[in-house]
Amino acid sequence: MAKKNGKKEALSVSRLINEVLVAQLSIPFKQIVNDSTFLEYTGSQRPDLLISEFEYDGTNDKQYIENLVAYAEVKDNCVVGDKDWEDAIEQGIKKASALKLPYFIVTNCKTTIFYNANNLKEISLNGNPIREFQTIDIFRLIKNKLSKESDLTNICTNVDSISTISEAVFNKKLWELANTYRTINFKDNVQKIDFTIGFIALEYFEEKEIIDGKKDATKIYWSECRDENDSKLVANIGAYISNLELETSFKEFKNLMDVVRNLISGIDGDKPLINKENVKEIYEIIDSMKPLHGTGFDLFGAVYEMFASSKEKKDFGEYFTRRHYTHIFSKLLLIDEQYFNKDRKFNILDPACGTGGFLTESFKVLKNNYEKSGTYTEETKKFLATECFYGIDVRAENISRTRLNMFLVGDGHTNMFDDNSLRPEKENGIKTLNNKYQYVITNPPYGNGGIKANTDSITSSRNEIAFLCKIMDLLNIGGKSCTIIPDGVLENPSYKEFRKEFLQKCNINAIISLPKFAFAPYTKEKTYALFFTKRSDTLSKIQKDPIWMYIIDNDGLANSDKRFPTKLRNHRNGWKHDEISGWVNTEGEEKPGILEARWLKFDDKDTNGTEWVDEKGIPHKLRKGGNIDIDTILKDKYYTMLPEYYLRPYEPEYITVEELEEKVKMINEMFKEV
């Protein structure tokens, strides 16, 4: 049985467990054991930190140890490579062998390194050295791959796991920044967000220059800003910013860089808001985020989620789509693009791109597909960087954010312009919107607008109708779209003729119902993902193929304004309350999410529904998906297309005349009493 050490636990280790492993990486607290002796396995030597598939109750040593996924030696107040660090490595070799783990971790609670226990080489994920703790899924994945190939040092993961890795680590760094920001009196959260984005941008510009082979040894860059005693750090950052604004294409982000310079240097001789000590802390935290290029997530969205208030998030909602939706919908729309074919190039447009969530996810999906198929070449990189992606947004500041986000996932930021997609006025916008596209993916604005929709079937200036008409015009014949729409498009009786026109010009492939709180607190509008293929520019016969409809009840977050992760898992480690995310099973195998696995083929009509649980763990059984015949839709008086209308029809409760009379009598008696 394990024996608990009586000495006082170091504060840094306690914070590592509670604030990083549990709070940031969602590892259940009871699955983590700190500084305990497992006599049967490691004798009197105590592994500093253990993480297992099972909770530890003080008696189940065998079950806990045989299902370990991670083991770490924790050395406070040491640095990488010193005597204490080397001693930790020696301890790791012995204990990893006794615990039968193919790898171990050494950390000083600031820097963390994963070592292959067989060859003592550092382990990388997708070519990047690991410098932070990971999610339990990634621990499981590393263990599985090293168990099969003992000398492996680079763990390659699919696109879903890349996102998990990047975002979890990045959020941990944002948590570190938040601690430093507590002593800084920012004017508001917008200033805090712009400062964070701007400071991060300074770091990744140097990465871009190195990757492009353009770094100039005669000029100052991010890594040269720190001098021996850090006394010139602020001045060096200012000089670096001046160089970027004057001599590089990065001057398009001048507004963000000015926020950084003004806050650390002051304006017109005024005292700077952020002192030198805090600038040093912020610089070191952001420096430890490297590499940022190609990490694969929405940078601006992650920062906004961390620092924005509820009101700001609500105001921001008109141009922000949560990453787990942008990812899965990009993956499904581009499901046929598994190989790069230089003779069949295509393009992707988001005509209301906001901060670029759909475009960044589409880039990431294509890059992952091409890498898996062995077709990711220099020509492929050029195609993705300059030919494939196009974005338009009415807000110029959003285009700047989109370009930043696109660079972070790889590149592809060339063709991003600010303009009104419904009525373009600028040269680049007009040129982009006069082109035709193979794919259009977007979450356009909803509500009353000032531009009439280009359709003869109805008269409407609603933005969602105008954008759908514009998307149909932008698509090639055979081109495909995923568009997020509000419920009125599918059920409003006054849109009946427009729905008929849509069926005459397009094939609707799928309609996916999103939970009511999908975009809360940004908006609570009931929304749907509409997948369709353009057939004709003119009216033709209504499509013959059935429409696949599906209802997402669970997206991994609580169905409320708070939207906290629910973390519910089944016995194989699959998600119980998440139909969107991929996962890693208990054998360390990567699995697709439920929606992806069911895509276009799932039908639970014959079983009278599917069992699932809500965020509280309460079981339900209702229909979730299936093919709806076009004849069934056309028989409906208004051509209604709501998935709920066909999959979960409302059953009215009928009462007799006598029961009605009794209820009326009761109501009358109530009024008499008043």
Mean pLDDT, residues 226-245: 84
Mean pLDDT, residues 72-87: 89
Domain borders along the chain are 2-156, 169-301, 309-631+640-647
Length of the chain (residues):
674
CA 351 centroid distance within chain? 20
Residues facing residue 513 across a β-bridge = 528, 551
Q: At a CB cut-off of 8 Å and minimum separation 6, what does 571 contact?
A: none
Reported as type and span, the H/E element at residue 98 is helix 83-99
* Percentage of residues in the chain having pLDDT higher than 70: 88
Q: At a CB cut-off of 8 Å and minimum separation 6, what does 495 contact?
A: 458, 460, 465, 488, 489
CA-wise closest residue to 212 among 239, 250, 238: 250
Q: How much is the pLDDT for 6?
A: 41
The whole-angstrom separation of Cα 89 and Cα 93 is 6
The whole-angstrom separation of Cα 614 and Cα 622 is 12
Its pTM stands at: 0.78
- Are the CB atoms for 603 and 626 separated by under 8 Å? yes
187-212 confidence digits (pLDDT tens): 988 889 889 988 988 888 888 788 77
Cis peptide before 291, with omega less than 30 degrees from 0?
yes
The CATH code that applies to domain 2-156 is: 3.90.1570.30
| Whether pLDDT at 350 is above 80 | yes
| Whether pLDDT at 174 is above 70 | yes
Instruction: Identify the band that residue 317 occupies on the pLDDT scale cut at 50, 70 and 90.
Output: very low
Lowest mean pLDDT among 92-101, 175-184, 328-337: 175-184
509-549 confidence digits (pLDDT tens): 999 999 887 776 666 788 999 999 999 999 899 999 999 99
| Whether pLDDT at 471 is above 60 | yes
Domain 309-631+640-647 has CATH 3.40.50.150: yes
Say what the alpha-carbon torsion angle 420, 421, 423, 428 is, to the nearest 10 degrees: 80
pLDDT averaged over every residue in the chain: 85
| Whether pLDDT at 160 is above 80 | no
| Whether pLDDT at 88 is above 50 | yes
547-606 confidence digits (pLDDT tens): 999 999 988 777 776 666 676 665 555 667 788 888 777 676 778 889 999 999 999 999
Place of tokens 């729409």: 485
- Neighbour count for residue 255 (Cβ, 10 Å): 12
For residue 433 the two structure tokens come to 């919107």
